[in-house]
Structure 1
């Protein structure tokens, strides 16, 4: 990353933290109101309650608020049983929690958080009604995950006191809160919301009001690239999931994760972001996922999605290559870039390694005894080199910790060459999956696209680099922030991979953003200095 980018990010963080020190969090004795008593509403109310605030719950459906009060009380009881809350604190919290019979009962609230249905007209009407009963200093907040904060506040008399507070489900457990500033949000209001979330024990990140905010914007390629590899016939869902878990270090694969989220929910978010960005090809939804939704296979909640969840159903296993003999020696030509740690691992496994003069970073390869070459995924396909026996291997978060390595090659590669490549990684104790000849493989193209969207978000002032990485680690449990991973893998390599993919799929989907290209050029300048 260039010096000017780094300085700008540091200055942003310093200025915002300084501003935060000048604005106090809401005092614990101030009332917090939550409108909407579904899962998210109850979770947000519980967080505010445990933080010490009096909390009022309101729901337009008769009796729902009282039911929610009872449900939250039962959860507090379970926390006491598990030793996470003492009985006195439970009793004090329960005494501060009340159901509101009508909007007027929220008049003295210092903060009102809305968690109702994701329909813009309904939310706009709710806040128009609330503005008639609360004071002018009351902060109004929406927990929307997909609608424009600016649009929700558009008809308000005082839109400056309106902010987005996007909690993640389950709100009492997940630490991340996206604090979203709409076009008219007063900076002091956003800062007060930010420091209040910190006081509640959350990890807030600031972001501008753009489609998907941070997490739902930057996360799209994690699902999209897996679906694209599947649609191209490169690998089956179980193998793609295993690649991203066991090689990429992600906690769950995209197919099992969308089954958990709900295929309809995940597809709807993807489509919403795509449409909000005027059908930008970088966010194009998957036809395969659309067919799954149309068939009613929505995941765990319907008993079948990409996988079956029927009683006794067996989960498909990832394709794993049978044992193969490892070569006794290899030659490493040049620098392997982010795969350089493999050299030490091969030597520890007793494989003889000879090195030739180093080339430019990331342009090296491994020569096998039988004449084949192992290349880190670079956006090219092996079939484009019919005179060479090229095997591509995928990017890993940590080659020492990875339990699986993914390989690809053209269909007519010499079997003994492929066997040498398989055996080489098996000698490290890795499982090996051989997939179709997919340009960019699985992990590498996913990381490149995540880094591209993250860099673009930072350069468009959606959020700071630090907040983007924090949001992706905490909001969707990524093993590393995409910008952190990009710096480790090399912006030049990732930008080059996307350029290669763009040449093969000239739709604009893989055209690297100017933000990523700038970082690649800055990297070149730093290497040259």
Structure 2
């Protein structure tokens, strides 16, 4: 295959919904000529009117000068037929997510545009190779996956099909930068980077809820305030809407031939059928009144501190943090080799549930409460406690009072391998590692795509490094040992780097270019 020199100045956009309009907006502002086409002619005029209003609003707010606003709008024109896209250097489709419809469109475009025109799909879940398979020349078909709303979501995935010309992808990478976006490059695999990596938060959050461990609101509170994410899994699902997110979950699961890591939840399937889609319908995992999320209030912390507390020595660093909190609360520390008969028993498992931690150390499960020490306990915005099925109400309430004594809110959950934050974060890191292992994208692009596309505080690989790859590996191995679920098997990328003391962001050393020759 001979690479061509693709120069892009005129862009055709097929489909004038939210995505098509957003792409048109950033292209026009970048000085490109934009031609809009839609099978509904009225939609083209509506899209141009929308852009005119948007540019005028940005000008009124001082975010766009008037000359540039007028020039951008002048760059946009409508096309009444596909044939009017003949002079385009690039055509981006942003139409319905149906393979046969996209293939038919690209076959028609091939009869209209020149051989130097790149054909790009904004698909979020379909194979670029499959879309290109319907074309006479599949080499110029590239994935160009923007995120909604396009002007604000500053990342775009450039996806190479198996028969794609790298020069076409290179041209779209350059174009993305020209339009003020950050491009990341991915192989043609289900979910590409962002939707693939996003399975960790959503599917694991749903699994936690499905096991009856905690409520939707409590899971969100833990992921936001303890783990530091901007949104919890159910707030995120409400924002994206289940009619969008659930089909993507099913699509990725089936495209990976029922890979257990991506198993969808009947929770979202049932709620989708019931029309509880999220913010846009006024009710999802939360209710929305005048667009405002209605969150159930948390109960007040109990009063009544324990007389003495014994803390497991299984994880010394975690024990040290717990002992510090006990001292600050003015509670006596039981320093015996085994707990005294009247002491509250605190364990700090990583990946195990409270029951396994109690049995492993031959502890009285009725007095055992576990605390999640994955994130710092001192200065925390939230702490999470976990009980065994045998833990008494008195032990639970005493532990709650103790760890809330300094005013930090505490969430008490039912027994769960890996609490909430541990298992969700470990799953996020593990899936990110597997994306790197499969060479779907570079480690740098994986973290960049996730931070920009999902708004996570760190990319999955950097997050694993921050918490410690060996600790993440321990959590996954312990979860796997308890549940036997292949969902929690560690990625080879994670296991090898944890064992060698390498950063999860580091490619294989032999693949790193250096000037030194052997």
Q: Secondary structure at the match of 2:36?
A: strand
Counterpart of 1:409 in structure 2 is 387
Long gaps (5+) in structure 1: 1-21, 357-365
Counterpart of 2:358 in structure 1 is 385
Equivalent of 1:129, from 100, 105, 108?
108
Counterpart of 1:221 in structure 2 is 200
User: Which range is displaced more, 61-70 or 473-482?
Assistant: 61-70
Equivalent of 2:56, from 50, 53, 77?
77
Q: CA deviation at 1:425?
A: 3.0
Counterpart of 1:11 in structure 2 is none
**Hey, what's the Cα distance between the residues in 2 that align with 1:288 and 1:525?**
36
Q: Secondary structure at the match of 1:144?
A: coil
Taking the TM superposition and a 5 Å limit, the aligned residue runs for 1:50-65 are 50-65=29-44
Counterpart of 1:321 in structure 2 is 301
The answer to whether residue 345 in structure 2 is matched with residue 372 in structure 1 is: yes
Compared with structure 1, are the counterparts of its residues 33 and 104 closer, same or farther at alpha carbon in structure 2 (3 Å cutoff)? same
Q: CA deviation at 1:525?
A: 12
Q: What's the RMSD between the two structures over aligned residues? A: 3.2
Q: Does structure 1 conserve the Cα–Cα contact (< 8 Å) formed by 2:160 and 2:169?
A: yes
Q: Does structure 2 conserve the Cα–Cα contact (< 8 Å) formed by 1:319 and 1:434?
A: no
Q: Does structure 2 conserve the Cα–Cα contact (< 8 Å) formed by 1:34 and 1:58?
A: yes
1:93-132 CA distance string (max 9 Å, x none):
1111100111121111111111011000110111111111
Q: CA deviation at 1:188?
A: 1.8
Q: Does structure 1 conserve the Cα–Cα contact (< 8 Å) formed by 2:226 and 2:380?
A: yes
Counterpart of 1:14 in structure 2 is none
Q: Does structure 1 conserve the Cα–Cα contact (< 8 Å) formed by 2:125 and 2:248?
A: yes
**Hey, what's the Cα distance between the residues in 2 that align with 1:285 and 1:106?**
40
Equivalent of 2:218, from 233, 239, 253?
239
**Hey, what's the Cα distance between the residues in 2 that align with 1:229 and 1:196?**
42
Equivalent of 2:287, from 271, 287, 308?
308
1:462-514 CA distance string (max 9 Å, x none):
01111111111111111111111111222222222222222333242222222
Q: Secondary structure at the match of 1:433?
A: strand
Q: Secondary structure at the match of 1:304?
A: coil
The answer to whether residue 122 in structure 2 is matched with residue 149 in structure 1 is: no
What number of residue pairs does the alignment pair up?
493
Q: CA deviation at 1:328?
A: 9.0
Counterpart of 1:270 in structure 2 is 249
**Hey, what's the Cα distance between the residues in 2 that align with 1:194 and 1:367?**
65
Counterpart of 2:513 in structure 1 is none
User: Which range is displaced more, 84-93 or 182-191?
Assistant: 182-191
Equivalent of 2:69, from 90, 93, 109?
90
The answer to whether residue 184 in structure 2 is matched with residue 211 in structure 1 is: no
1:62-116 CA distance string (max 9 Å, x none):
2221221111111111100111101111111111110011112111111111101
Higher relative CO (CA 8 A, sep ≥ 6), structure 1 or 2? Answer: 1
Equivalent of 1:497, from 475, 496, 512?
475
Taking the TM superposition and a 5 Å limit, the aligned residue runs for 1:463-474 are 463-474=441-452
Compared with structure 1, are the counterparts of its residues 514 and 466 closer, same or farther at alpha carbon in structure 2 (3 Å cutoff)? same
**Hey, what's the Cα distance between the residues in 1 that align with 2:503 and 2:125?**
39
**Hey, what's the Cα distance between the residues in 2 that align with 1:368 and 1:244?**
35
Q: Does structure 2 conserve the Cα–Cα contact (< 8 Å) formed by 1:37 and 1:68?
A: yes
User: Which range is displaced more, 404-413 or 94-103?
Assistant: 404-413
Q: Does structure 2 conserve the Cα–Cα contact (< 8 Å) formed by 1:240 and 1:442?
A: yes
Long gaps (5+) in structure 2: 505-518
Q: CA deviation at 1:421?
A: 3.6
User: Which range is displaced more, 35-44 or 180-189?
Assistant: 180-189
**Hey, what's the Cα distance between the residues in 1 that align with 2:62 and 2:331?**
55
Counterpart of 1:298 in structure 2 is 277
Q: CA deviation at 1:232?
A: 1.2
Q: Does structure 2 conserve the Cα–Cα contact (< 8 Å) formed by 1:379 and 1:498?
A: no
TM-score by length of structure 2 reads: 0.87
